């Protein structure tokens, strides 16, 4: 029997569900693809999972899971809805909050607006086992504020030099801002495990040498044309191709992430 059915109604007011933030510096490296597939896998494993699409104004996680959100953070910020009212149901019982698509005001949200969003995310913790936040590109406060409330940061990169440089850039910026919790690396579009390991060693070497701390390994996802096919079909690739190698790597990633959840939470 599944001890943690995703739709169970009981909420523990003392629960402090861990918050994981997915970021990269550079755009287009696979943050949203991995966030959506990770969140779906975590939900499928029985953990109550919330995915916050924090690419404010250009949110697209819902597209990758074939969902049309009836609400977004705009409704919350304009006081038309409570934060719990804007949760949208995704695959496997996953709960999604969309950051709004094509909304300039969201992309230019001021400090007060961002603070309200952060506080609302923190308030969601009793209602879930785990929160995953997908961020936009860049190193602006639109991104770093979300890292600031996370228990753990998952940095996504690929083997390209520009992606690697920007991964280092976001790590440098958030730690200079005071972030002092663990940072884990995901190497996406890896052409081999050896290549992924080289990327990890390179980035870890840089943070150790120039910033004075190391980063942890979380896992790799290989380059696979089925990832893009699944996006075209608006279905998470782990659902469309459950037996493909790329899906088994993603599932391993989800397992590694669950190992990081503190025991006192349901995950
Ligand atoms: N493992 C992969 N293999 C092949 N293509 C991928 C993989 N991961 C991501 N992509 C491609 O990269 C594109 C950008 O991914 P996306 O998740 O939107 O990046 P980000 O959120 O970082 O901007 C996707 O549309 C997809 O085509
Ligand atoms: Mg994205």
pLDDT at residue 103 in the model: 77
Q: Which atom of ligand 1 is nearest to the CA of 228?
A: 27
DSSP string, 188-210: EEESSHHHHHHHHHHHHHHIIII
pLDDT category, 263, cuts 50, 70, 90?
Answer: low
What is the pLDDT at residue 6? 36
Instruction: Tell me the pTM.
Output: 0.93
Contact 41, 250 (CB under 8 A): yes
Is the CB of 31 inside a 6 Å radius of any atom of ligand 1?
A: yes
Is the pLDDT at 155 greater than 90, yes or no? yes
Residue whose Cα lies nearest atom 17 of ligand 1: it is 30
pLDDT tops 60 at residue 142: yes
The stretch 135-156 carries a mean pLDDT of 95
Instruction: Look at residue 14 and tell me whether its pLDDT is greater than 50.
Output: yes
Question: Is residue 227 in contact with ligand 1, taking CB distance under 6 Å?
Answer: yes
Please report the pLDDT score of residue 64 as a whole number: 96
| Distance of alpha carbon 242 from alpha carbon 229, whole angstroms | 14
pLDDT (mean) for 92-107: 87
Q: What percent of the chain clears pLDDT 90, i.e. is strictly above it?
A: 83
Is the beta carbon of 224 within 6 A of some atom in ligand 1?
Answer: yes
Is the C-beta atom of 35 inside 6 A of ligand 1? no
- Ligand 1 atom nearest to CA at 231: 25
Q: Kindly give the distance from the C-alpha atom of residue 265 to the centroid of ligand 2, in angstroms, as a whole number.
A: 28
Mean pLDDT within 209-233: 98
Per-residue confidence (pLDDT) for residue 261, from 0 to 100:
86
User: How far is it, in rounded angstroms, from Cα 241 to Cα 54?
Assistant: 27
pLDDT of 9 above 50: no
Using one digit for the tens of pLDDT, what is the confidence trace for 121-134? 999 999 999 999 99
Q: Which domains does the chain have, with CATH numbers?
A: 20-258 (3.40.50.300)
Nearest to 181 by CA among 139, 210, 215, 152: 152
Does residue 231's CB lie within 6 angstroms of at least one atom of ligand 1?
yes
Q: State the average pLDDT over residues 94-102.
A: 90
Q: What is the pLDDT of residues 33-74, one digit of tens each?
A: 999 999 999 999 999 999 999 998 888 999 999 999 999 999
């Amino acid at each position: 029997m599944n001890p943690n059915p995703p739709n169970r109604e009981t909420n523990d007011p003392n629960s402090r569900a861990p918050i994981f933030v997915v970021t990269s510096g550079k755009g287009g490296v696979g943050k949203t693809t991995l966030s959506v597939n990770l969140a779906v896998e975590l939900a499928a494993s029985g953990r109550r999972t919330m995915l916050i699409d924090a690419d404010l104004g250009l949110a697209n996680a819902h597209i990758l899971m074939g969902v049309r959100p009836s609400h977004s953070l705009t409704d919350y910020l304009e006081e038309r809805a409570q934060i719990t009212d804007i949760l949208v149901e995704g695959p496997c019982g996953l709960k999604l909050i969309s950051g709004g698509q094509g909304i300039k005001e969201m992309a230019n949200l001021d400090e007060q607006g961002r603070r309200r969003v952060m506080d609302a995310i923190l308030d969601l913790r009793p209602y879930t086992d785990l929160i995953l936040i997908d961020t936009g590109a860049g190193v602006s406060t639109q991104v770093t504020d979300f890292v600031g409330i996370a228990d753990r940061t998952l940095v996504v990169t690929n083997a390209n030099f520009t992606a690697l440089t920007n991964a280092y850039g976001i790590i440098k910026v958030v730690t200079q801002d005071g972030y002092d919790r663990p940072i884990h690396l995901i190497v996406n579009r890896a052409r081999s495990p050896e290549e992924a390991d080289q990327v990890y060693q390179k980035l870890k070497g840089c943070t150790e040498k120039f910033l004075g701390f190391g980063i942890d390994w979380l896992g790799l996802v290989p380059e696979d044309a089925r990832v893009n096919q699944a996006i075209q079909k608006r279905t998470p690739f782990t659902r469309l191709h459950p037996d493909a190698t790329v899906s088994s790597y993603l599932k391993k990633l989800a397992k590694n992430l669950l190992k990081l959840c503190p025991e006192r939470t349901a995950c």
